[in-house]
């Protein structure tokens, strides 16, 4: 009798287990039809997307999402991962686009820091060009370099070429003759004092790094309508943004560059253009912790950039809905262009679990606005081919 009871119990448990398995698989294999900011975002393999600090490149109706492959910690153990999608909701893991190197002498050796990769296409050389923030192994964030790699396919593999401290030996276009002259007190100033702030705004670190090249940490890329490309990066000890023109092949700097918001402490730049106006979203400077985003606009890429305040509106806008900007994606549909704010909700205790905050960005009264949505869809269910 007792045995029959056990068999019955076993069969019931088995049936229940199979039922649960069936439903969870059915749920997993269902296609995503909307964005759910901050939720686990499973790829077509049912794994949380691992493409942090990302950027998107679109070609022939296929979107490629490049981002930092994170482990529990933030050092590059793998490299840059790439996912593909035709609808922006469902992403297929296409593998590692740029691998960290096994060679201990390589600048991108495993254990270096590879952050915020962005990819653009160069018509002339027919190269896909990736730039990323690079910190050399064992040096924390001291190196402050930007690295470049190329590939003949958007899927990679990308081949690492070199890294830069941008614009060595070149003064910014918005720098006066006076500002080029060092002052005796330059090296003696104590951080955060009023004298230091004034000196910083007047180019203290531009002068310090003139010969070796300017620091480059959080960065993004932007290609203008005429094909000119720009590298936008946090420089001067993260106190000032620089916008620098890239050479025709997008693999180096022309030496034409400008300072944006000297002493403004802008990080995480994301830039887009609507009509003839350039817009930029940035964050403040609080590491992995979120802070109020900032927004700017300009009629020339080199500025002046007008400050428009925090684009995030409503509850939790003071921490940008617990996110930090990484990219603004224009989505061109049959009737319109809409914009997606892409941000990272970092999880420094377990980086691989960092979440993605994608929200609609609208321009209202000439200002970018981002509002929270628990779930949302693009206006047209399928973007234009
Ligand atoms: C953030 C930056 C991230 C990462 C982090 C390291 O401010 O936006 O990309 O560099 O600092 O602490």
Beta strand 145-151 with 62-68: parallel, antiparallel or unpaired?
Answer: unpaired
Residue 182: the pLDDT is 83
Nearest ligand 1 atom, CA 113: 10
Nearest ligand 1 atom, CA 324: 8
Q: What separation in Å is there between the alpha carbon of 287 and the centre of ligand 1? A: 5
Best mutation site among 146, 216, 234, 287 for ligand 1, i.e. most ligand atoms within 8 A of its Cβ?
Answer: 287
Best mutation site among 114, 115, 145, 234 for ligand 1, i.e. most ligand atoms within 8 A of its Cβ?
Answer: 115
Nearest ligand 1 atom, CA 53: 9
Task: Report in angstroms the alpha-carbon separations of 214 from 35, 263, 349.
Answer: 38, 15, 31
pTM of the model: 0.91
H/E element, 27: helix 2-29
Residue 21: the pLDDT is 46
Give the tokens for residue 312.
């995030």
Residue located nearest, by CA, to atom 7 of ligand 1: 287
Task: Report in angstroms the alpha-carbon separations of 344 from 38, 39, 54, 145, 302.
Answer: 9, 12, 8, 22, 27
Q: What separation in Å is there between the alpha carbon of 22 and the centre of ligand 1? A: 41
Residue located nearest, by CA, to atom 11 of ligand 1: 287
Residue located nearest, by CA, to atom 5 of ligand 1: 287
Give the tokens for residue 118.
């962005």
Residues lower than pLDDT 70 in the chain: 1-29, 380-385
């Amino acid at each position: 009798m007792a045995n029959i009871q056990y068999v019955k119990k076993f069969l019931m448990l088995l049936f229940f287990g199979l039922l649960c398995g069936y439903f969870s698989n059915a749920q997993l294999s269902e296609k995503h039809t909307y964005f759910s900011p901050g939720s686990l975002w499973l790829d077509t393999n049912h794994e949380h997307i691992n493409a942090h600090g990302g950027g998107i490149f679109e070609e022939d109706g296929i979107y490629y999402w490049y981002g930092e492959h994170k482990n529990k910690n933030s050092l590059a153990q793998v490299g840059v991962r790439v996912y593909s999608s035709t609808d922006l909701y469902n992403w297929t893991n296409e593998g590692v686009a740029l691998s960290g190197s096994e060679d201990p002498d390589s600048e991108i050796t495993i254990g270096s820091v590879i952050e915020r990769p962005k990819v653009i296409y160069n018509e002339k050389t027919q190269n896909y060009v990736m730039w990323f923030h690079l910190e050399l192994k064992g040096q924390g964030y001291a190196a402050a370099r930007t690295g470049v790699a190329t590939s003949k396919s958007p899927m990679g593999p990308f081949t690492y070429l070199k890294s830069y401290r941008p614009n060595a030996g070149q003064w910014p276009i918005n720098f006066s003759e006076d500002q080029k002259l060092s002052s005796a007190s330059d090296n003696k100033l104590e951080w955060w004092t009023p004298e230091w702030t004034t000196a910083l705004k007047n180019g203290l670190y531009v002068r310090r790094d003139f010969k070796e090249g300017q620091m480059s940490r959080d960065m993004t890329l932007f290609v203008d309508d005429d094909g000119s490309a720009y590298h936008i990066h946090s420089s001067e000890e993260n106190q000032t943004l620089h916008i620098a023109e890239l050479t025709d092949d997008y693999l180096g700097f022309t030496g034409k560059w400008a300072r944006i918001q000297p002493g403004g402490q802008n990080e995480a730049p994301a830039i887009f253009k609507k009509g003839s106006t350039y817009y930029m979203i940035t964050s403040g400077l609080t590491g992995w912790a979120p802070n109020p985003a900032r927004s700017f606009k300009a009629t020339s890429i080199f500025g002046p950039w007008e400050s428009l305040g925090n684009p995030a509106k409503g509850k939790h806008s003071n921490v940008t809905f617990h996110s930090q900007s990484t990219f603004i994606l224009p989505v061109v549909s049959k009737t319109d262009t809409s914009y997606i704010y892409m941000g990272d909700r970092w999880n420094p205790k377990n980086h691989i679990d960092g979440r993605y905050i994608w929200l609609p960005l609208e321009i209202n009264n000439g200002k970018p606005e981002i509002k929270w949505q628990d779930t949302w869809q693009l206006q047209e269910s399928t973007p234009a081919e």
